[in-house]
Amino acid sequence: MGLDDKLVRKKLEVLLKDELLVQKYLRVYGPKLDMNNINKIKQDQLKAAPDGAAGDKDDPTYIIKVKCPVCNQADLACYEAKAKSLTANLDKFLVPRYTGVKPFRTVNYTLMAVTVCPSCLFASPDKKDFLTFSVQARAENKSQLSPFVLEDLRKKVDERKALINSPDFTAYFQHPRNTEAAINSYRLAIHRALVEASLETPLAWYKAGMYSLKIALLLRDGGKPDDPVLKDAAGYLAKSFQQSELKNPEMEYQLVYLVSALYLRLEDQAQCQNYLGVLDKMKSELTKAAKDDPGITTAHVDRWLDKAKELWTDRETPDLWKH
């Protein structure tokens, strides 16, 4: 950013008093000061907030516009959570339930996390999968998905459309989204992740598993059975483990915990024990290595092994999985 651009940004910060509005201004009008445009963006902001400007202040989310990497549809609204606006309370499968941190109100961010292209039903909760606009570079950022994945996704529009039973995808996936539409947004994201997995994209199975766990929580909170989708999650996450998708050991311990917890919940005690055994083995190997290298710690593996064992000990407790 040049010196003039910095000056414009500083003035915008004074005039608009809102970092997100400044970013929006720069995105729309570029680094040129124009009072008409400043007034216009302020007016738009007032119109966008349902209860006036004050109503918007407690909204923990903000919208950025992204473009579909599969069909190039522009102006898709991607909902991002503002920093430190929500706290997360995790269920046994580490899926968050959100509460607003004052002055922000509580919203169920899971309902809006997945951005869906209404034209081709490409879907992802990760904005980096879309084409985004970089304010600093004033250029379009490419999707992080490989051209091969995008090409395959282009061929599978009809498969995605067959997953959603609605005559109007724009209306169906608009916000506020109901639980059914949110579940289907994650189903589309799983479809995308499985295309990634078929092309051996790193972390694809892990993503499919984690999206399944989001669906499970939405179903559970809606009083519906979550077993089939938990079974999917266990399968995807077990594949992720078998293929060593997670390169970070701490994340891998967490993954093995998840798989063991899922099998316990699905009443497959033998499989649960297998994965508990994996964690135990990881721990004993680390303990051995720590004897030669005092820099090695078992704290992380201990944490997840303890959690997994605790679930096993409490397995007969009623309501263990209710939370």
Eight-class DSSP state of 19 = H
Taking the least distance from each CB to Zn ion, the nearer of 123 and 255 is 123
What residues contact residue 282 under an 8 Å CB cut-off, 6+ apart?
A: 253, 256, 301
Shortest approach of Zn ion to residue 18 CB, angstroms? 30
Among 21, 70, 229, 301, binds Zn ion (CB under 5 A): 70
* Total of chain residues touching Zn ion, rule CB under 5 A: 8
Among 25, 79, 122, 186, binds Zn ion (CB under 5 A): 122
The whole-angstrom separation of Cα 248 and Cα 132 is: 28
Among 73, 141, 179, 274, binds Zn ion (CB under 5 A): 73
Shortest approach of Zn ion to residue 6 CB, angstroms? 36
The whole-angstrom separation of Cα 142 and Cα 39 is: 32
245 close to 295: Cβ distance less than 8 angstroms: no
Contacts of Zn ion in 80-109 (CB under 5 A): none
180 close to 187: Cβ distance less than 8 angstroms: no
Among 26, 117, 149, 230, binds Zn ion (CB under 5 A): 117
Shortest approach of Zn ion to residue 161 CB, angstroms? 11
Dihedral (CA of 217, 218, 220, 221) sign? positive
Taking the least distance from each CB to Zn ion, the nearer of 170 and 178 is 170
Half-sphere exposure of residue 164: CA atoms within 13 angstroms, side-chain side: 31
Half-sphere exposure of residue 114: CA atoms within 13 angstroms, side-chain side: 33
Taking the least distance from each CB to Zn ion, the nearer of 160 and 307 is 160
71 touches Zn ion by CB under 5 A:
yes
245 close to 207: Cβ distance less than 8 angstroms: no
Taking the least distance from each CB to Zn ion, the nearer of 86 and 117 is 117
Structure-block tokens of residue 231: 């079974």
Taking the least distance from each CB to Zn ion, the nearer of 44 and 159 is 159
Shortest approach of Zn ion to residue 229 CB, angstroms? 25
Map residues 176-215 to x or -, x wherever contact with Zn ion holds by CB under 5 A.
----------------------------------------
69 close to 150: Cβ distance less than 8 angstroms: yes
173 close to 124: Cβ distance less than 8 angstroms: no
Among 119, 141, 274, 298, binds Zn ion (CB under 5 A): 119
User: Which residue ranges make up the site for Zn ion (CB under 5 A)?
Assistant: 68, 70-71, 73, 117, 119-120, 122
